[in-house]
Amino acid sequence: MMDKEQIKEFAITEYRRWLTCATDPKAQNELKNLAGQEEELVDAFCAHLRFGTSGIRGVLGIGINRMNEYVVRRTTQGVANYLNRTCSHRPRVVISYDSRDKSDVFAMETAKVLRGNDVEVHLFPHLAPVSVLSYSIRKLSCDMGIMITASHNPKIFNGYKVYGSDGYQIVGDVPDAILEEIDKLDFFDGIREDHSGIQFVSDEVSKSFCRDVIAMSTADGILGNQMNELSVVYTPLNGTGNHYVRQVLDGIGFNNLTVVGCQEMPDSSFSTCPAPNPEKITAYNEGFKALDAVKGDIIIATDPDCDRVGVSIYHDSMKVLLTGNQLGVLMLDYLCHVRPPKPGQFMIKSIVTTPLAERIAEKYGLRTVNTLTGFKYIGEMITSLEQAGRLSEYYFGFEESNGYLMNPFIRDKDGVSSAMLAVEVAAWCKAAGKDLIQRLHEIYEEFGVCRDKTWNFFFEGPYGSLTMGHVMDWFRNNLTAGSSIGGVMIQERIDYLQDTGLPKSDVMSYLLEGGTQLVIRPSGTEAKIKIYIFETENLPTVEKDIENIMNSFKG
């Protein structure tokens, strides 16, 4: 790993090369604007935007550490080389995109490079959610899918997600194999493009997706006309969910819906929600205005690529945003009541998702399987079940980061079916005379309270990844079983870079005295380290110690 001076020297050298080679006027203008801005210049050229967690994601702009046409074309050439090397037939790829700045441009650049390498290309002619892409991969018998999106990140980001033939993000050796192909390439030479032969995906694929989601509804015969007594405000946060969520809700007979007008249509600047993340209460500001206007019960939000869903309500006259864990627990509880599990079925969740779900699952006879963070691991398990003829054993899957899948008809988290499920859960609660928080308290009374907290510690700038590596090294080398943090003894430590029975991953997990669980991992998509704590009692000394450790690296 390079030190700071080496990183700076590398960045300046690469910047000068781009000044010579990136000849189009817009790129030249952006490059010249970086002159004299050393920190921004170094950040833009300090390292290649790495093909990591099933793709790339970064800030929009010029440079090798930014999302731009040059980076997208080089990445796609590497993907095409991988496909042509590993497929025994002519590869087929489907491409979709969200409403972000340049998403449509990057989607077309991706399509042209694939066509230049004799790959059969199916491009969505309009915005489509991640889950529709996952669905279309199998529907169109494709070898791969590519989604242009930065999911829930702020508006300055965009990204490039790669999916395998089974409909979940690539795992195992595939990302490294594609990275190896990309690393052989230059940004300015060896990129082949062809504008001809791009096929557009038929609207029938989207219609089929919606029909399959509607068929999952649990409301028929359970809620009846009571469902429309619930008043729902929906916001797609200017993303891909608008048409799909509304069509599905209409399809199950739900019509008491108000859509947030200023967030209804695509808006790449996300004018009213600069951070379009349903995990953040600020994303609901416009939603609460609409909720007040119609005197509604609940706000449902989906992120720009519509793979995550969030819920916010008024409870005791206070604005309350449900955490991803709370919403997942409510969904699981509801499903167990209205669609009782069959013997042998199980729930899948990530290792950073609340253990409260396991206690609920146990009561209803469900087994629990824990996976690494990333819904692709849930998708991988679903595919393994299907191949073994045991797909019916899947019951429900979710992650604490607001990702849910109630039916294994696709292999990724789905904001469309989850929005439908959230409506049905809330309507069921209202029919019983309670809101979601009141039902959550009933669950706590039966199964015990599980408080969970997530911190995000950001390490941005040209040396952020270097610092993040030092942070993980510190936890790995200094906190062991028998030592303590915040005065609380560590009883057990798990290093997921070691052999744990799961794929190796840069994650540390600690079980503390009293049952508290602590998990530390670097984000695969942002310059941050995420820390999760699951506790039975408030542990301020532990929290303070963690905060001091993390801040010491920010110096």
**What span, in angstroms and rounded, lies between the C-alpha atoms of 456 and 528?**
6
**What span, in angstroms and rounded, lies between the C-alpha atoms of 213 and 409?**
9
**What span, in angstroms and rounded, lies between the C-alpha atoms of 205 and 5?**
52
**What span, in angstroms and rounded, lies between the C-alpha atoms of 264 and 238?**
5
Query: 3-class SS at 489?
Result: strand
**What span, in angstroms and rounded, lies between the C-alpha atoms of 287 and 261?**
9
- How many Cβ atoms sit within 10 Å of the Cβ of residue 294? 13
Q: Among the residues of 339-407, which ranges form H helices?
A: 356-363, 375-387
Please provide the distance, in angstroms rounded to a whole number, between the alpha carbons at the two ends of the chain.
Answer: 20
DSSP bridge pairs for 233: 258, 299
Q: Is the dihedral of CA 462, 466, 469, 471 positive or negative?
A: negative
**What span, in angstroms and rounded, lies between the C-alpha atoms of 402 and 302?**
10
Closest-CA residue to 106 (of 66, 139, 134): 66
Task: Determine the angle formed by the axes of helices 436-447 and 324-338, rounding to 10 degrees.
Answer: 80
- The phi and psi torsions of 73 (rounded to 5 degrees) equal -65, -45
Mode of pairing for the β-strands spanning 199-200 and 120-123: parallel
279, 324 in Cβ contact below 8 A?
yes
Helix (H) or strand (E) holding 320: strand 318-321
485, 518 in Cβ contact below 8 A?
yes
Helix (H) or strand (E) holding 221: none
Q: What is the pLDDT along the chain (555 residues), one digit of tens a residue?
A: 677 889 899 999 999 999 999 999 999 999 999 998 989 999 999 989 888 767 999 999 999 999 999 999 999 999 999 999 999 999 999 999 999 999 999 999 999 999 999 999 999 999 999 999 999 999 999 999 999 999 988 999 999 999 999 999 999 899 999 999 999 999 999 999 999 999 999 999 999 999 999 999 998 777 777 899 999 999 999 999 999 999 999 999 999 999 999 999 999 999 999 889 999 999 999 999 999 999 999 999 999 999 999 999 999 999 999 999 999 999 999 999 999 999 999 999 999 999 999 999 999 999 999 999 999 999 999 999 999 999 999 999 999 999 999 999 999 999 999 999 999 999 999 999 999 999 999 999 999 877 788 888 888 777 778 888 899 999 999 999 999 998 889 999 999 999 788 888 899 999 998 888 899 998 877 778 999 988 656 678 888 888 888 888 876
Query: 3-class SS at 287?
Result: helix
Residue 89 CB-density burial (10 A; 0-12 exposed, 13-18 middle, 19+ buried): exposed
406, 417 in Cβ contact below 8 A?
yes
3-state helix, strand, coil in the chain (%, to 5): 40, 20, 40
Active site residue 151: yes
**How high is the pLDDT of residue 499?**
79
**What span, in angstroms and rounded, lies between the C-alpha atoms of 123 and 104?**
10
446, 337 in Cβ contact below 8 A?
no
Distances (CA, A) of 397 to 84, 246, 313, 433: 34, 23, 24, 28
Closest-CA residue to 409 (of 146, 159, 166, 191): 166
**What span, in angstroms and rounded, lies between the C-alpha atoms of 341 and 148?**
36
Q: Residue 13, CB half-sphere, CA atoms under 13 Å: how many?
A: 7
Structure tokens given for 140: 């169109």
Diameter of the chain measured on Cα atoms: 69
Residue 28's Cα: distance from chain center in Å?
34
**What span, in angstroms and rounded, lies between the C-alpha atoms of 172 and 531?**
24
Q: In whole angstroms, how large is the CA radius of gyration of the chain?
A: 24
Query: 3-class SS at 121?
Result: strand
Q: Which of 151, 206, 350, 418 is catalytic?
A: 151
The C-alpha angle with vertex 390 and arms to 389 and 392, in degrees rounded to 5, equals: 125
Residue 292 CB-density burial (10 A; 0-12 exposed, 13-18 middle, 19+ buried): exposed
Residue 501 CB-density burial (10 A; 0-12 exposed, 13-18 middle, 19+ buried): exposed
Query: 3-class SS at 179?
Result: helix
Residue 309's Cα: distance from chain center in Å?
10
- The phi and psi torsions of 170 (rounded to 5 degrees) equal -60, 140
303, 277 in Cβ contact below 8 A?
yes
